[in-house]
A and B are shown apart, each in its own frame.
Chain A
């Protein structure tokens, strides 16, 4: 079933075959339908593969500068407190260029929902090393595999945000392997914002067969490897 808030004319969407974004936006769309918030939702898209969803939804969409989706959406929410703001950002935008915005927003406990998609590479520019690249993973800029001694260990976002956010924050990590679980987490993250409780953050482990240079079987195998490194679950739930 295609969610109601997805624009029929924009299909087939612009994502590559096997891209995890399709699954993420499908789950997000069905949650928006379920909560019936399409008219007051604003979707913010960062630079990166996420911007290919610019005409996917029948809801208001903003496209921001690289890594700046978090402050733009926070500002929107302050100006219009009854709206529901969703920021979609990649791992490069969220953990590299936009990290300071993300940290301060989490620290201030802004009532926004940020969805960070982790596919371990910079997808749109051709698969360069990102902060989340696994040790030993071969990318365009690490042809012999990522050396953790030189370039550091993969960045654990939710773990760090858990330590600096207040009690009412919602921090979770999900995987596209289980779309129903993903919907459940989306629902909690968005409800947390609607109830004016505080900052909601979700990291989603996604697929990128194009830049991992593999097929569906290889991509799902790599996702298993990622799930071992990045534990899945809810790190913080509002009381």
Chain B
């Protein structure tokens, strides 16, 4: 057998599940009979920091856990791109996970499963057994609710399917910059009964925290089933006929995403 040695760099934002991906990949490779190392690299911050995971899979002993050129580069957020550009070479296979950030919601899965979906795509390129990865996932996620575990497994399988016909822009680091969230249109609704009330939700700013839903005195707001926000989570939608234009949601929104116009 030809000498097999793959260096995989996973990069993303703290909280996206980069380290969970690295750990699962590492253990699955080891239990499949390969030599494998994994080393994390992140700061102390929960948010706003870049999190990296170095994984190496080989059929012989691995001398050092870090590396300079990656064979596989997986990027989960746009801000991580400048940090990992030095690891690229012509032979590097790039998987741009930001392309798939809306996909879990499209399949009615939790947005938390995004990392497992991307792991599914990556695993298709590696000589790892699908069953082994699912077993490792079960062991790693034994503390989370069983519903979420099932969703994670489903997302992983969707990822494996996606890998068969991966769009070209998901193999490049650049293209997604064009599909920036800044160009997303706002969700504008005007009341038929009271045409003075216009309710605008800026999709590019909504983080789905749900404070407006709790505070609305008319219970006119709820999570949308179709539209997703910047974190791939369901944004808030208004039942405009219930809205009385009190503007409380606009006041209590911490993300500047709601605008209510009520002409008097």
Contacts and interface: CB of A to CB of B under 8 A. Distances in A.
A88 B45 CA distance: 19
Given A15-B254, A179-B252, A210 B46 contact: yes
A20 interface: yes
Interface stretch (B54-62, B99-107, B134-142, B206-214): B206-214
Interface residues of A, number: 32
B256 A18 contact: no
A217 B47 contact: no
A16 B210 CA distance: 12
Interface residues of B, number: 26
Given A52-B47, A124-B46, A216-B213, A18 B254 contact: yes
B231 interface: yes
Contacts of B177: none
B207 to A, nearest CB: 4
A12 B210 contact: no
Contacts of B233: 17
B46 to A, nearest CB: 6
B25 to A, nearest CB: 24
A17 B209 contact: yes
Interface in A16-61: 16-23, 26, 52
A126 B46 CA distance: 6
B48 A14 contact: yes
A69 to B, nearest CB: 18
Name the residue in B211, B213, B231, B255 with the highest tally of chain A Cβ atoms < 10 Å from its Cβ: B211
A123 B47 CA distance: 10
A79 interface: no
B199 interface: no
Contacts of B218: none
Contact of B209 (A52, A124, A180, A209): A209
A11 B251 contact: no
A152 B222 CA distance: 41
B259 A1 contact: yes
Given A23-B252, A23-B254, A16 B211 contact: no
A124 B47 CA distance: 7
A2 interface: yes
A11 B210 contact: no
A72 interface: no
Contact of A12 (B230, B250, B252, B259): B230
Interface of A: 1-2, 6, 11-23, 26, 52, 123-126, 179-180, 207, 209-210, 215-217, 219-220
Interface of B: 44-48, 204-205, 207-211, 213-215, 230-231, 233, 250-256, 259
- 8 A-B pairs with least C-beta separation: A22-B254, A18-B209, A216-B210, A17-B207, A17-B209, A216-B211, A23-B254, A179-B251
